[in-house]
Structure 1
């Protein structure tokens, strides 16, 4: 699930809520349901070739009237060989072999992608067929054409704790047995798990003709080569924030939590290009300056998936035209947005996505925990800015504190989004005041891994649960902002 920061220097702000009553929380529910569908369907077997109609648009129709006697030009073996060859060529660095099946514009684009991919420190990178549309038979005597939904399954070193996937749509043609299969078109899959938002296409390596990559101890910073000087200027500050977050997490989080030790960060000054990355939304909300996009774990084994994180990692993208990058104190701004988004990326891998469709996602991690922790993490390295932001958010003239935790969508009446970020932060500070930093981070880890047991987790962390915790926290809030 994407987590984002606003363009405003005052702090992170999600999109404004739709007007009540009919639209209230609709956006949040839509996102959560999508994650639910993804989490459930990601478990289904997706290795090998399944001959079925793809979901979404642009499917090729199945051949009509075929009795199975037509010449088979694109068999399962042909397709498996096609995918296996791309995997082996990418791993070995054989560009000619990698490009051999692509033709026309698809070949030109794949050459750029290949060169970009070779710059990324992958621990795993391979191509697998998820779905096939078209029989692969020479039904009408003019060759065979199939559409393949292909998963680029990959794991970036230290960034991903489990392999993740980007979904492509490949159009493959073969005129006769004497010719080799040819990939004539490559783009993003029309849908994944029934929704456009989960194909995670395009990634930076799909967009840039020449991708700049700056590898540091805890970060991989990427940008368009034409923006290399700008990205290189930001990279040390992004790296410093990564080292900060990881050091604090390592010192205080419980052992055994499966979390990343590095981050993949895309810095992009073109708003249209920024909004396109990872297809994280159908439309650009316009308010975000940075976003941590959760990447679902790829699994072919239904039986053991419950023992693995439901999310394999995250990708961070930042709008380099936002205030965090353009003010006089831009180094501080870059570190501030990085601290926040990296906190989301650390905890993303803990989220198993075990939400109930029937309850519209109410079983997921509480928003005040998710955003409160990201703010709490940043506050460790700039307490003065955190205090100012907290007081500013609480004092928002458009809002009124009613003593209630922001459990659902931020900005729900009578709160404002500014206030709710402050309240989430203060909830984590209240837990820290009662139990210390280690207990605070243990609470966060426990809650992400089992969000349905909030009362028990609060009881363990501060000796209070439910209404008792909320009441004690409300008193604390009023005491620190009066």
Structure 2
């Protein structure tokens, strides 16, 4: 059982592909686009930028005004399945408490002009920019790839296919940019208030959503209370979270991303849209939890996974989102979330405690050498779970020796530093070298797991 947070390599991809801060209303890669006058021949079929802009703006207006007929009018009316799907998207989005929602033009690919009177067909990436009221720090975006056709010089543009747009750089963890949202693939959405947070679920999971909502509400209150006591009151942290419930790893990997999932829960950071000089790089997060995991066998487990994932989301907005070769140290990221979730319980009650003792006894794939876990070996031969425990114990050691405020200060420094410098930033706050810290921490670990 593994808890986790989606690597911010996806954020880096956004930065590398479109200058990190997306420019609302601008076209990205306009391959094949004709922005000047078409040929004098009246048979020329050409698609201009303003046609695309008008199409996308009309789609935005239809969603904002609650006009389902106008919303679906841009799609191929002969494709019953497509119209049915987009009608469902409209209905689902209408249930979302969104303070902002719009569609914005991204990059275009394909043949958008033909001088011989033939129709044209190309793909247009479109961002669905949105912000959950009272939850997202800034607007975020989900990327669609529309296939668009224009049959003749005076014919309207028709969207014939909708799918998720791929990242701007190949080889990323997710094959799509924050697609699909639950509104894209669920037949309906149950929305349960959980204090200042929201729980989203399929209709067949309505009972589970009602069961989980009070726990998510309590976890939100607990995590925010921890921050209010120990964190910077001026820091950009959310006051609530979006939590979606799924069943199984396949569903877990196909919500707000398209990737292979190994976690039991995940907090997915989403880059903010626009505002080039904004210091907040991560506009919001989406928490997804697998209700078939062992954590959902009892209320204690649901509390643990909720507090863990919400702790990730709590500090996501403080991330510098700077490029890093190896990324922020996992023992800091996961150790902090584990600490926040288990700070009030003795370590002997931790579900990984027995595994930790086996680690010290040399019964796991690697022996305990008194060193903090490294990212390259984080998942080596099923060592992931015990590495979570080592991160947790590192945070417990810091809290006991330096205090929780210093712990939070160090973690925030690690988030605000470039990922590869995260350890150095934390140790600088603590005023200790890594070697001295590891030596003291190793003794603490042996005492805790004796």
TM-score (norm 1): 0.82
Shift, 1:177, TM fit: 5.2
CA distance in 2, matches of 1:260, 1:390: 32
1:434 to 384, 389, 401: 401
Shift, 1:219, TM fit: 1.6
Higher relative contact order (CA 8 A, sep 6+): 1
Q: Which residue of 2 aligns with 1:324?
A: 295
Structure 2: 5+ residue stretches without partners: none
Shift, 1:308, TM fit: 2.2
Shift, 1:480, TM fit: 2.1
CA distance in 2, matches of 1:415, 1:175: 55
Flag the 1:51–1:389 CA change in 2: closer, same or farther, 3 A.
closer
Query: Alpha-carbon deviations, 1:356-382, whole Å to 9, x = none?
Result: 4xxx23xx3211110100110011344
Q: Which residue of 2 aligns with 1:477?
A: 445
CA distance in 1, matches of 2:29, 2:187: 34
Shift, 1:386, TM fit: 5.0
CA distance in 1, matches of 2:317, 2:56: 28
Q: Which residue of 2 aligns with 1:221?
A: 199
Q: Which residue of 2 aligns with 1:371?
A: 334
CA distance in 2, matches of 1:206, 1:92: 19
1:455 to 401, 424, 427: 424
Q: Which residues of 2 match residues 80-159 of structure 1 at below 5 A?
A: 80-103=53-76, 104=79, 105-159=81-135
CA distance in 2, matches of 1:467, 1:263: 37
CA distance in 1, matches of 2:10, 2:212: 34
CA contact (8 A) 1:245 1:377 kept: yes
Structure 1: 5+ residue stretches without partners: 1-5, 7-11, 16-27, 54-60
CA distance in 2, matches of 1:413, 1:403: 17
Flag the 1:459–1:411 CA change in 2: closer, same or farther, 3 A.
closer
Shift, 1:339, TM fit: 0.9
CA contact (8 A) 1:89 1:98 kept: yes
Q: Which residue of 2 aligns with 1:43?
A: 19
Number of matched pairs = 433
CA distance in 1, matches of 2:214, 2:9: 38
Q: Which residue of 2 aligns with 1:337?
A: 305
Q: Which residue of 2 aligns with 1:466?
A: 434
SS of residue in 2 equivalent to 1:151 = strand
1:292 to 251, 264, 267: 267
Q: Which residue of 2 aligns with 1:420?
A: 387
Shift, 1:82, TM fit: 0.8
SS of residue in 2 equivalent to 1:155 = strand
CA contact (8 A) 1:310 1:352 kept: yes
CA distance in 2, matches of 1:308, 1:171: 35
Flag the 1:420–1:160 CA change in 2: closer, same or farther, 3 A.
same
CA distance in 1, matches of 2:105, 2:335: 40
Does residue 380 in structure 1 map to residue 343 in structure 2?
A: yes
Flag the 1:459–1:152 CA change in 2: closer, same or farther, 3 A.
same
CA contact (8 A) 2:265 2:290 kept: yes
CA contact (8 A) 2:378 2:384 kept: yes
CA distance in 2, matches of 1:77, 1:33: 33
Shift, 1:62, TM fit: 8.0
Q: Which residues of 2 match residues 380-419 of structure 1 at below 5 A?
A: 380-383=343-346, 387=350, 389-390=352-353, 392-396=355-359, 397-398=363-364, 399-411=366-378, 416-419=383-386
SS of residue in 2 equivalent to 1:255 = coil
CA distance in 1, matches of 2:224, 2:3: 24
